[in-house]
Chains A and B, each alone.
Chain A
Amino acid sequence: MNETTTEYLDFPGADTLQAAGRVAPPSAEVLDRARAAVLAAASAEQATSAVAPARPRRMVTGRRLAAVFALAAVAAGVVVATGGEQAPRANSLSATAQPPQPAVGATTFLDGVSEVAQAQSASTAPYWKVQLRSVVGGHTSTVTEYVSREGYVIRSKGRTYKKGAPSWAVGAKLVDWNGLDRLPTDPATLLAMMSAGQQGGRDVFGQAGNILGDSPASPALRAALFKALGRLSGVKLVGTVKDHAGRSGTELAFAGVNGSEALIVDPRTATVLEDVFWQAGGVSRTTYLESGPALSID
């Protein structure tokens, strides 16, 4: 499938940003120099012949999942098979739509999930493994990520990528794994921090979804995040659904001015199963097939 760049540049000011990137072309002298450098290298190679190597890597895994609490049927609702990529069931994508009125059950449900998370054991494993399947712009990819305090490794289609430390947005800040450990676990304080510095506004719901979906957040932090979500105006409890991996979970939805987002949460394990983000002109969906501590990288 061909890709366009324009779909990712559909935001106010994108034209200005592109215009700010205009630069003068290189001079003829600069081009001559580049050409001469290559010709010289080619001549030198005829005499010697050199080849550049590539770099290989491997990995292994471990996995933990805790389920200690069975929620009451707070989230009981219509079972919806999410077979296709449709507009959010609970929200309007209209740019003028107001956030929906909060459902009464969302806070209670999320408080229950918070208790599940709180009861889980903290891990001392050096890695956090996440296997996810993402669908963006019609492209589907499945990757496995191993997060560590120093960086992270991504495995996809038999290839391995090694990157610097990942970060998650918390309000106006970006935090790494060590930063996650330092975040407050009081829900109100955390919510204030996530909302702070957002003169234009970063989506608190999205921040929480990202951290809960693919970060090594401690059980205490996860518990605080679920509670904080329950105190965020506009969060709506949709009901029981199946994610794209066929797993049953409870959908929470949030509508913003520029898009809507839904999280499917497994209340038994306090894990995010799926995150769907609707924006005008595009939908992205991330299904978290696995998320938990790992002792090693394969």
Chain B
Amino acid sequence: MEPDHRDEAGDALLRRSTEDATAFTPLVEQHSAALHGYFARRVPHAADDLLAETWLQAFAARRGFDPVLGTARGWLFGVARNVLLLHLRRAGRDTAVPTPETSDPWQAVDQRLDAAALAPQLRRALADLPAEERELMLLVAWEQLTPSEAASVVGIPAGTARSRLHRARGRMRERLTPSWRAPRLTVSGEPA
């Protein structure tokens, strides 16, 4: 996975923090707003708690960061995603029979889009994307991660993420371009 748009200072801090724990603290200042936003968009009621939990998890796992494999920012969002999924699984276990939604915050996101009066057509187009494509799309659109960073967050190769984002963009365009008309089909088997 080729790193890009590197925040070399952030990467260096995270690396250095393995030997010097105080080097970790500036990362909290630098990335808290973005990480909190990630949670606030998906589980607003739990965002404050999950932010603190993310930093604890990230600190404990910081030796697992490898700058060759991605950026500090992508890595931190990956930790945040794990914290989010664990939270959703716990919530699902506590409240109902676990469903796919317990590992996909789409329902909460959709409620957010509803509250934001997002055009129904846009919501439907997002809802119809495969979950992984949708997650990548939102990581790029909302968290402003690069495709490579989004790939590391979701846990897929960067090239796979780019392919899916490209495909997702095509689907969104098809769904949202007013002039689109469905391909005509014929009964006889011969094209119309």
> Which residues of A approach B to under 8 Å, CB–CB?
1-5, 8-14, 16-21, 23-26, 30-31, 33-35, 37-39, 41-42, 45-46, 50-54, 95-96, 99, 101-102, 106-107, 134, 136-137, 139-143, 154, 156-157, 159, 161-164, 166-167, 169, 172, 174, 188, 191-192, 195, 198-206, 210, 230-235, 256-259, 277, 279, 282, 284, 286
Contact = CB atoms under 8 A, between A and B. Distances in A.
A86 to B, nearest CB: 17
Given A10-B173, A42-B59, 10 more contacts: A8-B165, A18-B142, A21-B142, A23-B37, A24-B40, A134-B163, A159-B157, A202-B175, A233-B184, A256-B183
Contact of B122 (A9, A13, A195, A235): A13
A284 B185 contact: no
A102 B183 CA distance: 12
B190 A107 contact: yes
A235 B184 CA distance: 11
A35 B4 CA distance: 28
B144 A5 contact: yes
Contact of A136 (B61, B159, B179): B159
Contact of B118 (A12, A16, A139): A16
Given A156-B157, A231-B189, A8 B183 contact: no
B156 A52 contact: no
A231 to B, nearest CB: 5
Given A21-B142, A202-B174, A279-B170, A136 B22 contact: no
A69 B4 CA distance: 47
B95 interface: no
Nearest to B148: A3
A37 B52 contact: yes
Interface string B161-192: 01101111111111111111111111101111
Contacts of B173: 10-12, 258-259, 279
